[in-house]
């Protein structure tokens, strides 16, 4: 469910930015590309909501194409990481200090009608972490002419039961 909120937030932010008065768009046919490194170490909650330290390597790639009254973007993120569970009282004792491997692959494609605030987003997120493999979230969001976000399609294949884990 956290991915839906992130995708809906991205949709709302992009629509708001494109519909602000005075927004200047690129000339027709212009292409913008950006790559960003995801290499680094950070602290966050793991898939079981346990405080953990992540060490990641990966990248994002964004391509935006503006053509007349249409704007199209593709965002792709790939990351491999290790996650070490903190020695925290909220973590089951058997999992404190355990290190898991994880992978995240996400693609978001969006199309905007620049003559109005309508947009369609398709998102596919395939991921795994520790003992949880083959997880995916696929969704289509539509932003109507009034800026209202509607979930057109949502398929969530997540079987995450941290309470059933044994060391």
In a domain, 52, yes or no: no
- Is 123 a member of any domain? yes
Q: pLDDT tier at 1 (50, 70, 90 boundaries)?
A: very low
Q: What pLDDT is recorded for position 113?
A: 85
| Pairwise CA distance, residues 66 & 157, whole Å | 34
Q: Predicted confidence band at 28 (pLDDT cuts at 50, 70, 90)?
A: low
Whether 120 is in a domain gets the answer yes
* Residue 99, in any domain of the structure: no
45 part of a folded domain: no
119 within domain boundaries: yes
CB 76 within 8 A of CB 60: yes
Answer yes or no: is 134 within a domain.
yes
Residue 161 has a pLDDT of 93
Does residue 47 fall inside a structural domain? no
Range in 14-23, 64-73, 151-160 with the lowest mean pLDDT: 14-23
Indicate the range of 18-22, 37-41, 97-101, 146-150 predicted with least confidence.
18-22
Residue 71 lies in domain: 2-19+32-39+57-83+104-164
The Cα 140–Cα 12 span in angstroms is 14
Torsion sign, CA atoms 102, 47, 162, 156? negative
- Please give the tally of structural domains in the chain: 1
> Residue 148: its pLDDT value, please?
86
């Amino acid at each position: 469910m956290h991915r839906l909120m992130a995708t809906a937030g991205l949709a709302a932010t992009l629509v708001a930015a494109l519909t602000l008065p005075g927004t200047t768009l690129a000339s027709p046919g212009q292409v913008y590309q950006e790559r960003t490194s995801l290499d680094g170490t950070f602290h966050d909650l793991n898939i079981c909501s346990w405080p953990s330290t992540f060490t990641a390597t990966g990248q994002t790639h964004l391509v935006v194409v503006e053509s007349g009254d249409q704007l199209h973007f593709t965002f792709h993120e790939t990351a491999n990481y290790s996650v070490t569970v903190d020695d925290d009282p909220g973590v089951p004792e058997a999992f404190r200090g355990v290190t898991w491997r994880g992978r995240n692959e996400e693609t978001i494609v969006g199309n905007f009608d620049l003559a109005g605030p309508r947009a369609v987003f398709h998102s596919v997120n395939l991921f795994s972490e520790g003992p949880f493999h083959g997880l995916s979230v696929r969704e289509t969001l539509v932003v109507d002419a009034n800026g209202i976000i509607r979930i057109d399609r949502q398929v969530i294949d997540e079987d995450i039961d941290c309470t059933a884990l044994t060391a």
